[in-house]
Amino acid sequence: MLIRFFVPWVALAAILGFAVGGSYIWASLEPRHTPAHDQNASAKEHRPNEHAKGENTTDEVIAEYTFWLVLLTGILAVATVGLGVATYGLYVTGEKQIRLNRDQFLATHRPELIVREVGWNMVDMDGGTVVDDDSIVLIVANRGRNPCTIVESAVELRSGPPRAFLVPDGGNVLGRTTFLPGQFEAFRYPITSEEEGFTVGARGMTDCYVRGTIIYEDGAGVRRRYIFARVCRRGSDDFGATNNSDHEYTD
């Protein structure tokens, strides 16, 4: 970027330097009109004084014109260089202001992913609904003011309260999904491990916890981490908040 900015100014300065230097050299090396030493010498010696004064006046006018031309060209060169420096200063200031405005916009218009609901995956069977032992459902929403994309995620179903947050470690069980402001999506988390299968089997007899970590990214590449946990109390089929601030927050 800086190279593309400076090249035109360097070229212009070179052209102006060539013009100033050329004008100065031309003025200093301009040949003087001297009388010839051939048969015209005697004729020139007899010219009237008025004609000699006219030639001197013409030389002085040309010299003065050349002097002012060199002076004005030099002033123009200095002014052009100053204009280039001022333009570059405005360019740098504008770039800083653009970055500042963008940072302020992102700070006040950030996305915010949250888990709205967690529930057992209910299926219809024999005229009623039963719990699907193979999965649970999560409703995720973006209540922020900018789009974002899930880039990493991890979810776990367990029978005891969460002792620590989950580390996705590059995995993404929910899949790479982009959310517009106000958009929500339903995700089905499959029960695959033996421990999670035991937890589903103990539903209603003990507290069941769902905990997870979602890492999402906004349009500027800024990543944020959302930690959440929900609990299905003994004797209930509904998941609710754990009422523990350490179980749900956003970095």
Q: Structural domain boundaries of the chain?
A: 2-108, 113-250
Measured CA to CA, the distance from residue 235 to residue 206 in angstroms comes to: 8
Instruction: Determine the residue type at 109.
Output: H
Measured CA to CA, the distance from residue 23 to residue 20 in angstroms comes to: 5
pTM exceeding 0.75: no
* CATH for the stretch 113-250: 2.60.40
Residue 13 has a pLDDT of: 62
Measured CA to CA, the distance from residue 101 to residue 35 in angstroms comes to: 75
Q: Are 77 and 13 in contact (CB under 8 A)?
A: yes
Measured CA to CA, the distance from residue 187 to residue 200 in angstroms comes to: 18
How, if at all, do strands 128-142 and 239-241 pair? unpaired
How, if at all, do strands 184-190 and 239-241 pair? unpaired
| pLDDT in 10s for each residue of the chain, 251 residues | 555 555 566 666 666 666 655 555 555 555 554 444 444 545 455 455 555 555 567 777 777 778 788 878 888 888 888 888 888 888 888 888 887 776 666 666 789 999 999 988 777 666 666 666 678 899 999 999 899 999 999 999 888 887 777 888 889 999 999 999 999 999 999 888 888 888 877 777 888 899 999 999 998 889 999 999 999 888 888 899 998 888 899 98
Which residue in 75, 76, 61, 73 sits closest to 25, CA to CA?
Answer: 73
Residue 131 has a pLDDT of: 63
Instruction: Determine the residue type at 16.
Output: L
Give Cα separations from 130 to 98, 117, 125 (angstroms): 56, 18, 7
Measured CA to CA, the distance from residue 110 to residue 176 in angstroms comes to: 19
Which residue in 87, 73, 64 sits closest to 6, CA to CA?
Answer: 87
Which residue in 247, 207, 250 sits closest to 228, CA to CA?
Answer: 247
Give Cα separations from 87 to 5, 16, 82, 94 (angstroms): 10, 18, 9, 10
Residue 155 has a pLDDT of: 92
